[in-house]
Structure 1
Amino acid sequence: MDSQGWDDRYAASELVWGAAPNRWVVRELTGSTPGRALDLGAGEGRNAIWLATQGWEVTGLDFSAVALERAERLTAELPDEVADRLTWRHGDARTDEDPAAYDLVLVAYLQLPAEDRRAALHRAADALAPGGTLLVIGHDLTNLTDGVGGPQDPAVLFTPEDVLADLAEYGLRTVRAERVHRTVGEPGHKGGLTGVAVDALVRLERSAE
């Protein structure tokens, strides 16, 4: 789906993904020492906003202008000390060149064909500061047969092994590379589905040297 397609999708519904941060983002990053963070494919900003509440200085990048407008509206409702930690930028995760170095780069549910995914992950790895963390979360390929919800096109799904292969040349340390199971149909879940979804989760670190 191109940027216009995502603009249309975001415009058709209020808070497509809800306001709460992704559970894996919360699990992996609660208690982490805050620094500078980059959220690639930030959408309406739910994860970036949560990171800002934890003390992170966050740049949220997305190629949907509609999503970023919504993120800016949500930011305006936040306390100043949180809102001041958020910067929204319009750009493409596959091609955006950012000279800054980040202590955390988050890529959450950026479901792209393999070549585009690899380009986005390379941009993410390039943006990592020494000692930085790269956290990648998305719908796993096995969700098609073993889970519920999510994209039904296998071309945009991936596995933890795919992420590791995409980033093999960077020499990052693998902290975690696993499939995780997410219950859907809980209170507040949108979409009407119930069951268990299968996600891919990969956490990598750049050497501090």
Structure 2
Amino acid sequence: MDRQQWNERYAAKPLLWAVDPSPFLRGELGDRPAGRALDLGAGEGRTTLWLAERGWKVTAVDFSDVAIDRGRQRLEAAGLPGAVEWICADLVEFDPTGGSYDLILLLFIHLPAPDRRRLLRLAAATLAPGGMVLVVGYDTTHVGQEGGPQDPSVRFGPEDIVTDLEGMRIERAERLAVGDAIDAVVRAVRD
């Protein structure tokens, strides 16, 4: 989808995604000490807001300026204006270098494999020692199910992300059944 299509999709509903991050995500990140986070494909900022409320300094990147405006409004309503740096950019072209992050999130962002690999490798290079990358998305086996991209070429398995993050310490790489969905989950750390 292009920027206009995403903007139309966001504008069609008061809130496109759930208000709160998933219990899975809260479990993965809940005990992690606050630091600097890069939320790639932040959407309306549900994870961004949750992190900012816990003291994280967040850079949130999304393709849709409608989603970013909504995220800014949500942060203002929560009393956190200015707590997040919002960047409107196409992740296929985005270069995250120039920052140093303790956490990088790529949650349900489905790009063509070469673009995903490039983005993840560039982003991983910005991790501080001990920093973590968490990638979650619709698995290659999530075929014929509701939700997720219908183009199977942009889905990925944990093994794809492990290859993308070559050289990092992989703490978790698995397929998870979540309701009717099958998700690929990879958590990697920079030593």
TM-score between both structures, scaled by the size of structure 1: 0.85
Q: Distance in 2 between matches of 1:14 and 1:139?
A: 24
Q: Distance in 2 between matches of 1:120 and 1:24?
A: 24
Aligned to 2:14: 14
Q: Distance in 2 between matches of 1:23 and 1:124?
A: 25
Confirm or deny that 1:205 pairs with 2:170: no
Query: Does the aligned pair in 2 maintain the 1:60–1:88 contact within 8 Å?
Result: yes
Q: 1:124 to 1:24 in 2, by over 3 A?
A: farther
Secondary structure, aligned partner of 1:44: coil
Aligned to 1:174: 170
AA matched with 2:94: D
Secondary structure, aligned partner of 1:67: helix
Any idea what the Cα deviations from partners look like across 1:38-79, whole Å, max 9, x if unmatched?
100101100111111222111111121111011011111012
Query: Does the aligned pair in 1 maintain the 2:95–2:119 contact within 8 Å?
Result: no
Query: Does the aligned pair in 2 maintain the 1:94–1:123 contact within 8 Å?
Result: no
Gapped regions of structure 2 (runs ≥ 5) = none
Aligned to 2:27: 27
Secondary structure, aligned partner of 2:6: helix
The answer to which of 148-157 and 65-74 deviates more is 148-157
Query: Does the aligned pair in 2 maintain the 1:182–1:198 contact within 8 Å?
Result: yes
Q: 1:167 to 1:25 in 2, by over 3 A?
A: same
Identity %: 46
TM-score between both structures, scaled by the size of structure 2: 0.93
Secondary structure, aligned partner of 1:204: strand
Shift of 1:84: 4.4
